[in-house]
Chain A
Amino acid sequence: MTSALSITRSVAPPRAAFLDFPLGHTTGKKNQPEAQKRLLKNALGAFDELQRPGEIKFLNERWSDDETWREKPMAKAETGSGEPKGDFRTPRLETPQYQYPADQTEAEHQHRNGGCGSCVGAE
């Protein structure tokens, strides 16, 4: 599944389903399990329907009546503000970026005796 049509066309996977939603919502809107299920079922239907290599199924869903999310998609993705200022990109930090501080404590505890086998390339 993809929400970045130009990138998908460039990479050219065997099959794709395109959902025209903002980045970060490739498989639906948050907390809408029924809509997510309908969407994913529709996307998986591409396995039956698409017959030509490189074909893309367009999912007929609209994010909202308001189309302003398209105006500065990259700036919004990186800053949350929608307004780029100089190099607005997030710094490319080289240390793990945990969602919660407690995650780091837990990860360090889990790995105190060595690798866990599920963090491949990070141990």
Chain B
Amino acid sequence: MTEAKLAEPVDYIAETRATYDSLGYPPYQWVKSEGQPPWTPVQTRLEEASVALIASGGIYQRGQHAFHFKDDASYRVIDTSVSCDDLRVTHFAYDVSDARTDPNVVFPLGTLRALVAENSLGAITPQAFTFMGGIYSARKVRDELAPALVQRVADQRPDIALLVPV
């Protein structure tokens, strides 16, 4: 690879297609949204805003069931007063070693707390939500998991929502 090429962001869609192709599998069907994304203006200054955290990196907390690796469309409710020491990470599609050392790299609860403490952010909602990426059925995510999460997040009445995929 050339220097210039190396500076480009990794194209994970192309990488995945190449992997599937090399294994003789049919092409992976990525979600492609049509039309303009929905838009809701932010009404609150960040310093006063309540943020809801949603993450797909396979985070669970001690005492909860871990995720499994085959189309797991379940989710976990994380009490945001939890100690970061009680957070766990499991996932099949990325190297979890750093996330297990410091969950803030995929689930920035401690980081959000620090921003609240210095008054850069208003508050964190009482509950955060986590799930497992790598769900092959886009239909399952679109029709089941996403609507359930949207409702749970709305129930927290946040001003903004931060989604952290991996």
B64 engages A44 (CB within 8 Å): no
**Smallest beta-carbon distance B95→chain A, Å:** 5
Q: Which residues on B sit within 8 Å (CB–CB) of A111? A: 65
A70 engages B111 (CB within 8 Å): no
A10 engages B32 (CB within 8 Å): yes
A30 engages B65 (CB within 8 Å): no
A96 engages B23 (CB within 8 Å): no
Q: Which residues on B sit within 8 Å (CB–CB) of A84? A: 19
Residues of B114-154 whose CB lies within 8 A of A = 114-115, 118, 120-121, 145, 148
Q: What is the interface size of chain B, counting residues whose CB is below 8 A from a CB of the partner?
A: 83
**Smallest beta-carbon distance A43→chain B, Å:** 8
- Chain B at the A interface: SS class: loop
A29 engages B105 (CB within 8 Å): yes
**Smallest beta-carbon distance B36→chain A, Å:** 5
Q: Which residues on A sit within 8 Å (CB–CB) of B40? A: 14
Q: Which residues on B sit within 8 Å (CB–CB) of A116? A: 63-64
A27 engages B105 (CB within 8 Å): yes
Contact with B along A2-34 (1 / 0, CB 8 A): 111111001111100010101111111111010
A94 engages B69 (CB within 8 Å): yes
A53 engages B13 (CB within 8 Å): no
Q: Which residues on A sit within 8 Å (CB–CB) of B165? A: 1-2, 4, 7, 26
Q: Which residues on B sit within 8 Å (CB–CB) of A104? A: 66
Distance A91 CA – B93 CA, assembled complex (angstroms): 10
B12 engages A107 (CB within 8 Å): no
Q: Which residues on B sit within 8 Å (CB–CB) of A2? A: 165
On B, residues with C-beta under 8 Å from A are 1, 3, 6-16, 19, 23, 30-33, 36-40, 42, 46, 49, 51, 57, 60, 62-79, 88-90, 92-102, 104-108, 110-112, 114-115, 118, 120-121, 145, 148, 160, 162-166
Apart from A70-B1, A99-B100: 5 A-B pairs, beta carbons within 8 A: A3-B166, A86-B23, A96-B90, A107-B66, A120-B77
Q: Which 4 A-B pairs have the closest CB atoms?
A: A121-B74, A30-B102, A92-B70, A90-B92
Q: 26 A-B pairs, CB-CB below 8 angstroms?
A: A2-B165, A11-B31, A13-B37, A14-B37, A22-B95, A25-B98, A27-B111, A37-B111, A37-B114, A37-B115, A40-B115, A48-B46, A53-B37, A70-B1, A71-B1, A76-B95, A92-B71, A95-B68, A97-B68, A98-B88, A99-B66, A103-B88, A107-B64, A116-B63, A119-B64, A120-B77
